[in-house]
Amino acid sequence: MVRILAYLPGWARPTRLAGSVVGWGEIDDVSGASAARAVAAYASGEYAGAVVTPLDAAARPTYGLVRALVHRRPSAPIVLLVSDKLDRSVAAALGPAIRAGARSVVIHEPGLRDALQSAFLATSHIGCWRDSLLPLLQLVPHPARRIVQQCWADPHGSQRVAQLALALAVHRRTLANWCVASHVPPPDVLIDWSRVAVLAARLATEDTTLDHVAIDLGFGNAGTLRAAARRCGLRLRDLRSSANDGAIPLAVESALRMALRREDDEGVP
């Protein structure tokens, strides 16, 4: 059973939210508490993630709360819940909340149950493979590290630069500037590497097959995956760890180091 913390002050339909997780999840509604108490409860580690409204009961943006929640539990998803009638103030609050670390936006409509399942069940196992990727994340300088983090947070929804820019609420040119400032390959290359690394991590930590994970991550077929791996300097067999110890294959780390080194070398006059 997946436990989800909900901070929805002023939300008029809390029972609908609870009904949307029956059979697989449990909502712990702390909307009546202060934001500080909500953060303290979340920091206990008992929750798979949190659902937050972009505005609080006084119509103030909640991006500060989102940032605090992400700081306490970086690997857990924060989902923004919005009404199916999106007014201007809520729309304006979405960008800051996404930049603060919220992973997705769920609209309160008949498809709410499926949307929540996608947001939380798909990421309920994320901690295990994410932990195996953390050493690689340290290799990527800021601000380009945000690109990798978003790709790992939502690998299926980060297949193209346009998708990534939308998710991070920035212009595509900003992503390119981040990469230049960080001396890393351009965004499309970083996206390829990030998604291929997720695939390798899941193969190393889950009882699954390459085909299943490839489809789950949106590669579609072996040819698409092979092309993405080749752009990273990898072969499909490089994505499997022969040690079977839950660690990322050395070839994946080496490919990242080589790409970063090559970019640094090209930047040297």
pLDDT of residue 14: 64
**What is the rounded CA–CA span in Å between residue 219 and residue 260?**
24
C-beta atoms surrounding 74 within 10 Å: 12
pLDDT at 261: 79
Same structural domain for residues 131 and 255? yes
Residue 144: what pLDDT?
Answer: 92
Domain count, the chain: 2
User: CA torsion 220→226→232→233, rounded to 10°?
Assistant: 170
Does 137 share its domain with 251?
yes
Taking the model in full, what pTM does it have? 0.56
The predicted structure's pLDDT at residue 50? 93
pLDDT at 201: 85
Query: What CA–CA distances, in Å, run from 99 to 40, 66, 169, 207?
Result: 22, 9, 7, 33
- At 63 the pLDDT is 94
- Alpha helices by DSSP H, listed for 169-249, are 172-182, 187-205, 210-216, 222-231
Residue span of the structural domain in which 85 resides: 2-120
Q: In order along the chain (269 residues), what is the average pLDDT of each group of 10 residues?
A: 86 74 87 90 85 91 94 82 79 88 74 72 57 81 88 77 84 94 92 89 79 79 86 86 63 85 58
Q: Answer with the one of 74, 100, 120 that is the final residue of a domain.
A: 120
Q: How many CB atoms lie within 10 A of CB 147?
A: 24
What pLDDT, on a 0 to 100 scale, did the predictor assign at position 137?
A: 84
Q: Are residues 136 and 250 in the same domain?
A: yes
Pair 46, 146 in one domain: no
My answer on whether 10 and 140 are in the same domain is no
